[in-house]
């Protein structure tokens, strides 16, 4: 999936902090299994990765991860309701075609969804459009407009509006730029956002 | 099925062994086999802890001859030689690999062609119908005989994959890993229909003699040949057949007769003849019946998830995109049942053009997946 080229991704440590000892997790678009491997090693987590790319499935098997080859676009029908503590979608949201059913499925099979994505509203992305006049290309969005797998880029504000609209509750949000936490003007200064989302009305 | 042998990475010259089990074996059908013999081969060395043994289960027409060749017949190469050997995905430098001929088989284990001690004549039609559960029970005694408490892995494709699954369900404490390839949790009506046409071809052959053809000095080769031709069609993919044969004819002009004209006809007849000359018709009936009866969920209210609850093995389930006999959705049923129970399982869907027979092919990505999974098994 998009962004998976980075072996140890910026959001891994952050996601790991959200996982409690021994939790059951489902990592959607698990790539080479690095995140799930990290969660198993550092949190004693259990669970599965789901990945569509055959070479990444192979890499996950090599790593000893339990990986299910499958297409997230066709849903999570292989998983039961509330089977997982957390369902992770790490830097994959922006490459999905059908966002609404996927988020609904994540919150069906898991108590909580952890979603990270590159912030299209990051000032460097905005500047490339506003000043240089071309589609953003950055470490977070390392593609040209014509070869990008990213079909649903969004900003922090877009995602929060989406959650409010669907009555999803945002439990927590962390915004990063180059591995550093961003607190001030996150939708402008943050390049990657990690959200914890649960069912229910946003009370913030 | 096997290609020319890779001598550098072969297990080399092998010798089949036999072991007789004098204790009666209760069968799922209600009858009892007073005693039986299993024919098997082993490759590699059993380690001191006896923890590196891998059982290879064969499919409908397979045997215990999984790898290597015979001194008196160097061309008789094992049916899974591309997988099993030193440095191969199922690495005989790490694992002690056991191939066994199923009960009811025709390659050395007790079966319909075996002389029955009570009568001094072949079992023939009197040989009981055996099930996948019966095979697991019979093979468990072979594990006892070899001093193997738990298999590091049980692996098989098609009917062999069903055995690997059944092993993991029936003897959870004796299977650490189950590798289930190109299998299904039970047959569909279409699957059973194909099997029944194959059986009818055999049963209606005048040389079948109610299964006691041995006494008549004949073998229902016509029926067995047609059964194999039909089966063979279902093992190949549509595209593969189109590419390999298309509408190619042996001679240029249409003959306006019923002689062999199309290459596919010639190929199928050759495959049918070859098979009918070397396989026992009664065994073919038994193997297809074992396939039809396989349904581990049945005893659990047709709930496969409930049937899988007792498994303790880690699983690797593999399907092939062009396999229409047991298509990938059938493997996903198994995966789903295991995931439901929180069992450890990986699933790979291999994009391979060779239909159901893909599991026998040295397809690079498929073999990399098996090598990766097997490589992580601690002996």
Q: State pLDDT tens for residues B35-61.
A: 999 999 999 999 999 999 999 999 999
**Which of chain B's residues have a Cβ under 8 Å away from the Cβ of A79?**
339
- pLDDT confidence of residue B252: 81
Q: For the packed helices B159-170 and B132-146, what is the interaxial angle rounded to 10 degrees?
A: 70
- pLDDT confidence of residue A5: 40
Q: A102: domain CATH number?
A: 3.40.50.150
Contact criterion met (CB < 8 Å) for B369 and A58? yes
- pLDDT confidence of residue A2: 39
B65 is known as an active-site residue: no
Which positions 1-40 of A are in contact with B (Cβ < 8 Å)?
24
Q: State pLDDT tens for residues B117-172.
A: 999 999 999 999 999 999 999 999 999 999 999 999 999 999 999 999 999 999 99
Residue B335 is nearest to which of A54, A61, A78, comparing CB atoms? A78
pLDDT at A7 over 60: no
A71 vs B: CB within 8 A: no
Nearest CA in chain A to B342: A47
Q: Is position A104 within any domain?
A: yes
- pLDDT confidence of residue B293: 98
Range of the domain at A8: 3-119+152-199
Q: Read off the tokens for B76.
A: 């008789």
Q: Is position A132 within any domain?
A: no
- pLDDT confidence of residue A12: 87
pLDDT band at A201 (very low <50, low <70, confident <90, very high): low
CA B63 to chain A, closest CA, distance in angstroms equals: 29
Contact criterion met (CB < 8 Å) for B346 and A67? yes
Residue B344 is nearest to which of A66, A69, A83, comparing CB atoms? A66
Which positions 320-349 of B are in contact with A (Cβ < 8 Å)?
332, 335-336, 339-340, 342, 344-349
Task: Count how many pairs of residues, chain A against chain B, have C-beta atoms within 8 Å.
Answer: 57
Q: Is position A143 within any domain?
A: no
A58 vs B: CB within 8 A: yes
pLDDT at A194 over 80: yes
Q: Any residues with CB less than 8 A from the CB of B331 and at least 6 apart, and which? A: B180, B182, B183, B184, B317, B318, B319, B347, B349
Q: State pLDDT tens for residues B174-211.
A: 999 999 999 999 999 999 999 999 999 999 999 999 99
A171-A113-B315 Cα angle (round to 5): 150
Q: How many structural domains does chain A have?
A: 1
Q: Is position A76 within any domain?
A: yes
User: What's the whole-number mean pLDDT along residues B101-111?
Assistant: 98
Q: Is position A165 within any domain?
A: yes
Q: Is position A137 within any domain?
A: no
In order of A48, A55, A99, B212, the CA distances from A75 in angstroms are 15, 21, 11, 54
Q: Is position A87 within any domain?
A: yes
User: What's the whole-number mean pLDDT along residues B66-80?
Assistant: 96
Best of A47, A52, A64 to mutate (most B CBs within 10 Å, chain B): A64
B376 vs A: CB within 8 A: yes
B158 is known as an active-site residue: yes
User: What's the whole-number mean pLDDT along residues A106-112?
Assistant: 97
pTM of the model: 0.95
Q: Is position A204 within any domain?
A: no
Q: State pLDDT tens for residues A56-106.
A: 999 999 999 999 999 999 889 999 999 999 999 999 999 999 999 999 999
pLDDT at A51 over 50: yes
């Amino acid at each position: 999936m998009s962004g998976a080229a980075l072996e140890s991704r910026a959001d891994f440590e952050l996601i790991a902090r959200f996982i409690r000892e021994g939790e059951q997790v489902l990592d959607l678009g698990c790539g080479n299994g690095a995140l799930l491997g990290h969660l198993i090693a550092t949190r004693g987590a259990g669970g599965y990765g789901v990945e569509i790319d055959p070479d990444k499935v192979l890499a996950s098997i090599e790593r000893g991860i339990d990986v299910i080859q499958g297409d997230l676009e066709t849903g999570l029908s292989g998983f039961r309701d509330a089977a997982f503590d957390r369902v992770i979608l790490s830097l994959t949201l922006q490459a999905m075609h059908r966002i609404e059913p996927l988020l609904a499925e994540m919150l069906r099979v898991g108590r909580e969804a952890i979603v990270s994505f590159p912030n299209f509203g990051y000032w460097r992305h905005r500047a490339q459009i506003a000043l240089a006049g071309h589609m953003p290309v950055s470490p977070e969005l390392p593609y040209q407009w014509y070869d990008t797998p990213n079909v649903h880029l969004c900003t922090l504000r877009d995602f929060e509006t989406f959650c409010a609209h669907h009555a999803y509750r945002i439990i927590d949000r962390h915004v990063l730029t180059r591995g550093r936490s961003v607190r001030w003007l996150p939708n402008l200064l943050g390049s990657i956002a990690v959200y914890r989302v649960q069912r229910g009305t946003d009370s913030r | 099925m096997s290609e020319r042998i890779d001598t550098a990475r072969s297990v080399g010259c092998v010798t089949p062994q036999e072991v007789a089990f004098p204790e009666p074996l209760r069968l799922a059908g209600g009858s009892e086999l007073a005693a039986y013999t299993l024919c098997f081969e082993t490759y590699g060395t059993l380690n001191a802890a006896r923890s590196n043994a891998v059982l290879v289960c064969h499919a409908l027409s397979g045997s215990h001859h999984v790898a290597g060749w015979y001194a008196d017949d160097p061309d008789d190469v094992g049916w899974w030689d591309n997988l099993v050997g030193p440095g191969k995905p199922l690495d005989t430098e790490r694992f002690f690999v056991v191939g066994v001929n199923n009960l009811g088989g025709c390659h050395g284990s007790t079966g319909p062609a075996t002389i029955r001690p009570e009568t001094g004549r072949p079992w023939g039609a009197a040989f009981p119908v055996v099930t996948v559960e019966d095979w697991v029970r019979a093979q468990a005694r072979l594990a006892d005989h070899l001093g193997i408490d738990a298999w590091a892995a049980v692996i098989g494709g098609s009917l062999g994959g069903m055995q690997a699954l059944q092993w993991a369900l029936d003897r959870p404490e004796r299977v650490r890993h189950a590798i289930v390839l190109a299998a299904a949790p039970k047959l569909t009506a279409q699957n059973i229909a194909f099997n029944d046409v194959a059986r009818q071809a055999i049963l209606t052959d005048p040389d079948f003699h109610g299964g006691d053809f041995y006494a008549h000095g004949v073998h229902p080769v016509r029926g067995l040949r047609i059964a194999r031709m039909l089966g063979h069609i279902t093992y190949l993919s549509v595209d593969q057949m189109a590419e390999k044969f298309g509408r190619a004819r042996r001679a240029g002009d249409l003959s306006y007769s019923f002689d062999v004209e199309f290459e596919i006809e010639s190929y199928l007849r050759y495959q049918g003849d070859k098979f009918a000359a070397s396989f026992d018709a009664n065994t073919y009936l038994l193997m297809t019946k074992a396939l039809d009866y396989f349904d581990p969920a049945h005893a659990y209210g047709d709930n496969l998830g409930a049937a899988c609850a007792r498994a303790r093995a880690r699983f690797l389930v593999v399907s092939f995109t062009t396999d229409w006999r047991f298509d990938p959705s059938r493997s996903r049923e198994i995966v789903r049942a295991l995931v439901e129970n929180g069992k450890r399982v990986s699933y790979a869907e291999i994009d391979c053009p060779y239909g159901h027979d893909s599991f026998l092919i040295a397809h690079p990505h498929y073999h990399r997946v098996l090598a990766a999974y097997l490589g992580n098994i601690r002996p």
